[in-house]
Structure 1
Amino acid sequence: MKAKLVVNIITWALLGLGFIVSGISSANAETFIVTNRNDSGPGSLREALSLANNNGETETDYITFNLPGNTVADKTITILSALPQVNTPVIIDASTQPGDLLSANGAKVIIEAAGPFFNIDGTLAYRSDCFFVSDGGSIFELYGVIIRNFKSRETFNKLSSGDAVFADDAAVRMVIGAPGKGNVFYNNGGAIEAQGITNYIIQSNFIGLREDGVQFGDKIQIGIALTPEKNCLIGGDNPDEGNVGFGDFDFGNIYAGINLVIKNNIFNANQKFQRSTPAEALIKDQHFQVSIFANLPTNPPNSSEIELSGNTFGCGLQVSKCTGIKMSISGNYFGTSADQTSKLPVYTAAIDINQTTGAILIGGADVQHGNIFTGGVAAPGIKATIQAAASDKIELSHNSFFCNEKPAFSYTDKGPGQKPLEAQIASVTANSVNGQSKPDARVELFYTDVDCTGCEPKAFLGTVTANNSGAWQYIGNIKPGYGILAGATLDQVSSEFTNIVIYADQISIKNAGCATGGSISGVTIVNADNFEWVNETGAVVGNHPDLSNVPAGRYRLLAKQTFCTTYSPYFKIENIPPLTVVNGSGTVFNEQCGEKNGHIEGIKVADGTEPYTYTWSANANQIPGSSPDLNNISAGTYQLIVSDAGGCSLSPLTYIVQNETTNISPPVTKELVNCNGTVTIEVQHPVSGYVYRLYDSPMGEFPLQQNADGRFALPAGSNGTYYVVQALGTCESLRSAGLITGVTAQKLTIPNTITPNGDGINDTWTISGLENFPNALVQIFNRYGAKVFESIGPAHLFDGTSKGKPLPAGVYYFVISLSKGCDLLSGDITILK
């Protein structure tokens, strides 16, 4: 039986964290020794894990190593399939392996995957982890192991489904690495992913780096992704306790009341504070960060305390959605090694704080607690080295900023005049600095980084306090050749520094046209006393905040104060494409028959500056209106001038409208109507919109008559041939020839008395001319309306009788209908006796 290790109480003080964790007391702990490199079988790692799992959950077992041989191959275990999940308290310590170290941080055994793992049915496993700590693994510690090549799938070149250590709601305590027996994790999907763990200690590991701590792994991997529940220590008080890692390091969904310490680590550089060329390209492309984020309630029951100190950041730190936290960020180096001999460009904001409340102190009570910020690159979207939005109580103190491409500190969600606190410098002399802030504000003064931009607060000068009116004064010798910047703090809220800030959120760019140059306006500049706009050749083209009347090109603003020049990005003014008429557009519709119904339409204009103006003219006379279409026009020559809002005009465009004739059908006339003294010619079915003309010759120039209803009356006796046409404007149909001949009608002579007494004189009512109307109807009525006579044609004459009987003397009334189409003739006739 193997020797039993009795663990009564394990007490571990986490390097100033102030908490103590008790282990599980048992008399049944076992030590399982790995004695060969086999994937399975007696003496294998797989067997040791299985034996530990089967030994119960009330004790903490140990797995140690005693592999024969001393070469790298002798101490490399190749895993062919998923190892048993760890569901019991266990400490895996490869530092027990005899022989030489395999890594610079004390690892002695290599565990590598032969390839992705597969399910029993032959399909690719979703995960390919080395150690999967599950329910029951209340204690998990790992020392002195090199774990590599555990990965299942690759997405966008990022390994995402295989970890060196993966834990899910399992351990009360997880310890990964220690000084002298750190671990090495590279070319895995991730190094450590864990959630639901009460206490973490992660120390002395190489993450994303090879065994020498200098060379980088071949594949991108997740560095650390943890959900701290209570206590979490990443690194420690001593440099050899710090981790060296490359990749993303996420501390997310943190619980209220946690204690998170991140100390003396190197992020996104090797242990020599360097990056290889491929590593530099990766971090520039992937924007690796250290992220601390949560989604805590508005008023969490317990405040979370977070400390970041003594770290080297070759990347940015992001803090988001952390409610009610107390965070200290002090003594760190962003963008450089501690001795400032190695440069590690940061391609994001060095610190980016979003939607976070509580109190964040960046720096400390003296220069030793301040942070160093350098090497910040002006990547798109980055507005400051430290930038904050929707957050409160951010305090900066005793930090040093130099050689960054963006301002030191900015509240990015607030524009000029909206900042929570302002600091101003009114004057600087050889022995004093005066300025203004809020009453009782603490004001820190700095010399600027004249060796770089001259615009950042690099070297701490001193601290003063504003009086009751907010005025402050520093008395002391001021070094010549340096600019001075100030930053104020009141109630744990710091202002931005008094460096120049250029706000371009409201910028307005107008492109250059044919008649006017372009312009740039809407840029707001604070803390600058003179300005220069320069083009790409460096030539000065303006000296005011707004730039006007310049040709197309790229321009940027140089805002200046003492020893400081701040550059805006380049803004581009383009040439407005010249005003043109779209090829093939514009159609001329000719006038028809002189009716003033011609029009020009469909002219399309492109480019230039809208709105467009259209000016039409004919014979040098301007036509009212400003439309691209011209309607209801006569034949003629028209000119159009198109101009735009930028004052550009096209050369006159000429359009010719002609008068066109239209084929019109000749009219059809009705039967000739011969009435009392007139002959009527009438067109069948006259058409609205046309007129009808009567001519007396086939080539006559002037019509005898013209009307719209097609009825023409000629006087009786008008003999001849007449022609009728249908006309529209100046267009006429063919003339209908020979329609009317021999117009011989004469006016009737109607006597008004007869004397039917048999004397042969005036005995009958004789109507002269009635013989020309053979179908004329003659009717006579007495005064009572009774018809007493009726005759068709002139054959029968009224003789004063009705039905053979003489009519009494008196007045009678006649009605004569000559023919269809003629008006009725009426009157009276008197019979005399």
Structure 2
Amino acid sequence: MFDLVVNKKQVTVTLAGTVSKIYDGNTNATLGVTNLIVDPNAIVGTDQLAVSSGITGIFDDKNVGTGKTVSVAIANVSLSGPAAANYSLANAATLTAAIGEITVRAITVTAQTDTKVYDGTITSSAIPLITSGTIAAGDQLSTAAIQKFDNKDAGTSKVLTATGLMISDGNGGNNYQVAYVAVSTGVITAKQIMVTAMGKTKVYGESDPALTYGFTPALVGSDSFTGSLSRAQGEDVGHYPINIGSLSLNGNYTINYTGADLTITLRTLTITADAKQKTYGDADPLLTYTSNGMMGLDAITGSLSRVAGEDIGTYAIGRGSLTAGINYAVVYVPANLAIAPRMVTITADTKQKTYGDTDPALTYSATGLLAGDVVNGSLARQTGEDVGTYPINRGTLSVGRNYTLNYVGANLAINKKMITVTVVAKGKVYGDADPILAYTSSPALLAGDSFTGSLSRTLGEDAGSYQIGQGTLTAGSNYTVSYQPASFTIEKAVLLATANNAQICQGTGLPGFTLSYSGFRRGDGENSIPIRPTVGTNANSGSPAGSYALVPSGGSAANYSFSYANGTLTINALPQLSISSNRGNNISRGETLQLTASGGTGYVWNGPGGILSGQNSAVLTIRPTASGTYTVKATNASGCSSEQSFAISVRDDFQAISATNLLTPNGDGINDVWKVDNIDVYPNNEVTIFDRAGRVLYRKKGYDNSWNGTVNGAALAEGTYYYVIDFGSGKLKQKGFVTLIREGR
């Protein structure tokens, strides 16, 4: 018998609809029965089959959004219904679909009542409260809410508005929707300002000073006062209250005002009496004054008065009845009325006479003298009879005590007497002393008077015409001289110009010829001749030896006329020079020869080197090391010179090299060292000394005839030694022997 096994039918479940929740800070999802749908095509007949309720899943993240992926583990899904036992789920491990929706979480923040004093801002110190909703688990408040007044101005029922709540939810706060609720319970009270007026003072009549004040505390920001203080009306001396006037602040302040006073003080009025005077017998002048300090239309009333009296003298001027009213403090500066003597002017008349005449009568005129009064006395003059001005003075004149005598003086002039002086013409030769200058005069001087001083002429000693002037000639201060001048003539002096003798050597150019002068005067010299004479001759540089005339001519000078004397030019012959040699002109290097010059009286030699002696004599001794030319300059008795040269050829044949073969170093100065003649002319030589065995005993480059028969300071034994003189690569080597003898051993 067999059993029939009926297997469960597999059905597929899909996610559908919308899985929705309000943001709660996690990814948990709760699905309803409408969100899990069994494939209806898989249900048999009228079977009733559904998914069990209460299935949970997860959103893809916790943040607000739509179309979010919802995942459900298949293990969390079970079938329900009458036919549930006949079915099983065919789905994979997890169901997913973009059917999720997370909506924002609502938060309500409400502003709180606040009261403050006006400070120019809209800030509120109260903290708004969350009055609806909460913050999801895991999230936190990052920035608390603040609140602000609707404006900064003082007032009541002001709107307070909350703002600025920030929640840290990992999504920039976008998982929340914050609603802010404003309240109209805010109060900003006016700020109290204490204003204190500053007391002021002015002097009557001056403008009011600026009415100032201080205040505390400081105003807010750029707020400032408007308007100004004012004071009680009045300009007379007294005290006037300073009130707040139009000074005000905006409605955000309340002013608490403390007043002060403006004090008007007395004005100083200085009244200065004017000093007055009158002349004796005149009526009083009006007594006047000046004032300083009077204001506007105010006026001084009353008048000055003076001490009574009409005699000559000084009378004080008093304030009298002067007044300026209640607003002034009067300072009175007094003065005087002076009664002066009456002025009488006496004016002397000017007088004159000629020197030697008698005085004229002294007269005058008078003005200002009253009828019935007279002038007493007479004028006088200063004593003296010489030419000049003599003041006429008051003398004994008088007009009495009631007058002041104003004397206007004059002068008596004594005029000079006229004298004519006629000059006699004079002259001289340039360089001579001046003759005495003479004159005649008319008319004759008065008895006892005479001329003093002397005539003079225009300065100058050059030839020409000069004016003879009056100079210091005078007849005295009492005479005027009418001067008749004449001329003073200076003639040219004669100057002898002599050509100076000269001499030259034959064949040389002509020299500059000079002259000697005779006849200069007054310290003159050649520099006094602007155009000097020149010297000519018929000789030239090619003329033969002999004598030639030097002829001067052509001189010109302001103070001289010229006479001339010739000179002589002598042309001297040159020396006839020759050179001879005692060894010809070809020698071996190191040999000495003599060159002998003749034909002159003095000699100077020059050459390429090797001169031993005689460089300034006729005979020159030389030891040349190379070929060259030697030149001598000979001078004869006339000082003329000529040159001659002599060429020497020097052979580099070593023929002058000669070594001694005997060495006797005993200190007698003979053969104490081994000597090689003329070795010094071959400085690159090398000398080597050997013994019979060929051993080197001595070696020296540039041998200088200094070997004395020793080796390293030790004396060699007597015997024969051998030498080699090497003159360099490719050159001759000389060989030989030297015998060493030590005498006395």
Q: Which has the higher strand share?
A: 2
TM-score norm. by structure 2 comes to: 0.24
Q: Which protein, 1 or 2, shows the higher relative CO under an 8 Å CA cutoff with sep ≥ 6?
A: 2
Higher alpha-carbon Rg: 2
